[in-house]
Amino acid sequence: METILEMRNITKTFPGVKALNNVNLDVRKGEIHALVGENGAGKSTLMKVLSGVYPHGSYEGEIFYNGQEQHFRDIGDSEKQGIIIIHQELALVPLLSIAENIFLGNEPAKFGVIDWHVAENRTRELLAKVGLKEDPLTLITNLGVGKQQLVEIAKALSKEVELLILDEPTASLNEKDSDALLALLLEFKAHGISSILISHKLNEVGKVADRITVLRDGATIETLDKDEISEDRIVTSMVGRQLADRFPQREPNIGEVVFEVKDWVVHHHIHSDRTVINGINLNVRQGEVVGIAGLMGAGRTEFAMSVFGKAYGRKISGEVFIKGQKADVSTIGKAIDNGIAYVTEDRKTFGLNLIDHIKHNATIVNLGGVSHNGVLDDMAELKVANEYRRKTNIRSSSIYQKTGNLSGGNQQKVVLSKWLFANPDLLILDEPTRGIDVGAKYEIYTIINQLVSEGKSVLMISSEMPELLGVCDRIYVMNQGRLVGEMPASEASQEKIMRAIIRAEGKAS
């Protein structure tokens, strides 16, 4: 098969760090080539070199595309050649329509006057290609993340793409949308479009990729062919060691029910006549890890946030019992006082002050613990910050590193630290391992085990079913704002959970 792209001996140095060290990557025409590696392995840097974000001359090595050496100076150069990159963080303007976004900067226009008729028609064609049934005039803000992802791809298609680069395209998609997206990649492949797929989700990679290149610490480790691909093999190659078990062992030591929610009903925060959570009853025991499975949009985050001091929703009704006593969780402050912590799924938007350093982030929930009469004790705060940095194994130059400059996994550990220092009895963890690498995931699981062994309880929301099965003692299944299943983890399986969801979907429709 013909080679469309060859990157030879790419070395990229930042002040103090060698981000890429003699990396080689070749992509064949019409193949789906997966690029995997831990966070910080250099995947995104490599793609930035390829797309011209880091212009020619700022790195060493050669790029051959369609047999010719390329010197891309910016993204425009690489796009002209048909190399389109779709970033992890979507780059759509929320208050513009689908059509406006697709042709942003590339509008079909005569003398600066946009021909909206042409734009809409072409948008319709593109949307049909990616299988998105939406009106071209719909505003982006009214679309879910999955559909936004498809709009990004439609936008790429509008530019005559030959090589499509997708950086973690399914990180925020549910299983259904992810599958649809992967099917789309396969379809593109049939049309001769090559793709580079960066992903943490190894099962997806295994499904669609023709070959896999593994990066570790800025170097190419190996390129595997389809028949060599196995999850264990990839994981071993990624982390550079045998990961005997992806989930640390734990001896469950489960006590009485400490947290109970009864008849919980929540309405939509804008459309208050819409019921988002419809009569949920659940409980968590001391020392227990309870999972909530479900598809994206099942209402899991909404449920958790509404319990946590009505941080979400309107017209909330129902009761919360803590250790058998009725508890007032009507404000976030009261929820925290009642020993509840909510660790958000979106650490950048809801979890951290990204412009401040680790120390200030770590103590913000429990400033009372490092102050007397409202006056902060600097020494106490230093001690606490260092202690939690050590406990959660945050990799940073010091506690004075800005959280905005940390990798996803380390940011997650800072968010965990700030809630651990508040010393809650129940931690609600919302997608605690989203977008972080295999090694950091293991560390988060270890922290969870440590917590429950200290007699705390954990309620964990996750879209990764193997993770729920590997970490939890008991799993609830949620669908469309209702609990549609409950099972001990020992009896649960991915099939059982999916079956519960599908059965409920069937009833609902």
Please report, as ranges, the residues that interact with another protein according to CB under 8 A.
Answer: 308-309, 311, 332-333, 335-336, 342, 344, 349-356, 360, 364-365, 367-368, 371, 374-376, 378-379, 382-383, 386, 389-390, 393, 395, 397-400, 418, 439, 442-443, 446
**CA 64 – CA 474 distance, rounded (Å):** 52
Nearer CB in complex with another protein: 419/476: 419
Q: Count CB neighbours of 455 within 10 A.
A: 12
Tell me the three state secondary structure of residue 12: strand
Q: What is the rounded CA–CA span in Å between residue 475 and residue 321?
A: 20
What tokens does 404 get?
């905005």
140's CB contacts (< 8 A; 6+ apart) are 92, 93, 94, 95, 96, 97, 98, 101, 148, 151
Scanning the structure block, which residue is given the tokens 């059965």? 503
CB of 302 to another protein, least distance (A): 14
CB of 374 to another protein, least distance (A): 5
Do the Cβ atoms of 396 and 413 come closer than 8 Å?
Answer: no
**Based on CB atoms, which residue is closest to another protein, 65 or 312?**
312
Q: List the beta bridge partners of residue 478.
A: 483
Alpha-carbon distance 23 to 470, whole Å?
Answer: 35
Q: How far is the CB of 235 from another protein (least distance, A)?
A: 14
Rounded to a whole number of angstroms, the minimum distance from the CB of residue 216 to another protein is: 15
- Percent helix, strand, coil in the chain, to 5, is 35, 30, 35
* Minimum separation from the CB atom of position 305 to another protein (A): 8
Report residue 368 as tokens.
């009372």
End-to-end CA distance of the chain: 47
Gap between the Cα atoms of 280 and 34, Å rounded: 41
CA–CA separation, 239 and 198 (whole Å): 16
Q: What are the tokens at 107?
A: 């509008």
Q: To the nearest whole angstrom, how small is the minimum distance from the Cβ of residue 241 to another protein?
A: 9
For another protein, the closer CB: 212 or 340: 340
Query: Residue holding tokens 């949009």?
Result: 297
Q: Do the Cβ atoms of 29 and 194 come closer than 8 Å? A: yes
Structure tokens at 285: 């025991």
Q: Residue 152, SS3?
A: helix
The CA-CA-CA angle for residues 267, 322, 285, to 5°, reads 100
Q: Which is nearer to another protein, 154 or 394 (CB)?
A: 394
- Reading the block at residue 405, the tokens are 């400059």
CB of 67 to another protein, least distance (A): 38
Please, which residue, 418 or 482, has the CB nearer to another protein? 418
Which residue lies nearer to another protein by CB, 316 or 498?
Answer: 316
Task: Please identify, using beta-carbon distances, which residue of 61 and 369 lies nearer to another protein.
Answer: 369
CA–CA separation, 355 and 353 (whole Å) = 6
Q: How far is the CB of 371 from another protein (least distance, A)?
A: 5
Decide: helix, strand or coil at residue 404.
helix
Q: 353 vs 450, which CB is nearer to another protein?
A: 353
- Cβ neighbour number for residue 450 with a 10 Å cutoff: 15
Question: Considering beta carbons, is residue 63 or 307 the nearer one to another protein?
Answer: 307
Least Å distance between CB 383 and another protein? 8
Q: Which of 265, 418, 278 minimizes the C-alpha distance to 350?
A: 418
Which residue's CB is nearer to another protein, number 116 or number 342? 342
CB of 313 to another protein, least distance (A): 14
Query: Considering the complex, what minimum distance in angstroms separates the CB of residue 349 from another protein?
Result: 6
Contact criterion met (CB below 8 Å) for 300 and 283: no
Q: Closest approach of Cβ 336 to another protein, in Å?
A: 4
Minimum CB distance to another protein smaller for 39 or for 278: 39
Residues paired with 167 in a beta bridge: 198
Closest CB to another protein among 91 and 376?
Answer: 376
